[in-house]
Structure 1
């Protein structure tokens, strides 16, 4: 029984792999060579499994006949996976940086780490403004609007106001 299940699993995985001149699917990614709507050439789109939109769309090389696209191959597919993965990583880092800000303020001769963490909920977006001392001990936390602007001035004012709810 175990042997049959293993064969079925391998067959299911193998059926997910596609290696065609204009379509490759493997390792959680699909590369599709498409007609470039903006000019005479071709483009390639990379879509991560489970995503509706491509992570990467870029120009694709013409074939030798200067009419049809160059076929996808292992090397090109691996390069496309690496490039698309890097695009997703940069996007995630950018989003994280937009939603989580930190800065250190000197107050009464001691450093205080002030953080703003935004929760982009569709129905009720909000942010948490928090402070901790140099040892990581929490000093305060308050809920603020998602559009609260964390700056040295706003953090200093919050600390000076003894961590009361900012207006």
Structure 2
């Protein structure tokens, strides 16, 4: 009989932070990233794929340098790996910024009570996506909030009309 309690199960103590460091000529794994040198499907060259732990797709795929023999890829090294991590991290950061910009809009409108910030936050739910249109006063306190369609277009004119209409239901 085998005891599989957490105290004796080696897999129970494993976390991604404990992952071993791999430093092979075509495969490096360190600090949550994996660099894998792969054969380029389009030609005789090589490519490198950078994959963040837990992600199904590479964050970055790019050409890789041929070695001295002009046949095999140049081996990965510390400098190259660090540069690839920095580049792949920047790609992910820009993607997140772009997604945030698509899902969150903000503008200011003038009302009789002062300036009001109108925000549109899209909730990309897989089954029932929607958006929240909100009005915030000068102190950041929410004055009103209504649920709108996820394809609602927030424009200055629509925000102003919503404010002038008393922040009621939006069609």
TM-score (norm 2): 0.87
5 Å matches for 1:129-140?
129-140=133-144
What stretches of structure 1 of length at least 5 have no aligned partner?
A: none
Q: For 1:159 and 1:109, locate their aligned partners in 2 and report how far apart those are by CA, in whole Å.
A: 10
Match of 1:88 in 2: 92
- Once superposed, what is the RMSD of the aligned Cα atoms? 1.8
* 2:128 pairs with one of 115, 124, 131: 124
Match of 2:53 in 1: 49
The secondary structure found in structure 2 opposite 1:54 is: coil
1:135, distance to aligned residue in structure 2 (A):
1.5
Match of 2:4 in 1: none
* 1:103 pairs with one of 103, 107, 118: 107
1:137, distance to aligned residue in structure 2 (A):
2.0
5 Å matches for 1:4-23?
13=18, 16-23=20-27
1:39, distance to aligned residue in structure 2 (A):
1.9
- Answering whether residue 160 of structure 2 is matched by residue 156 of structure 1, we say yes
How many positions carry a matched residue from both structures?
158
1:17, distance to aligned residue in structure 2 (A):
1.2
What stretches of structure 2 of length at least 5 have no aligned partner?
A: 1-9
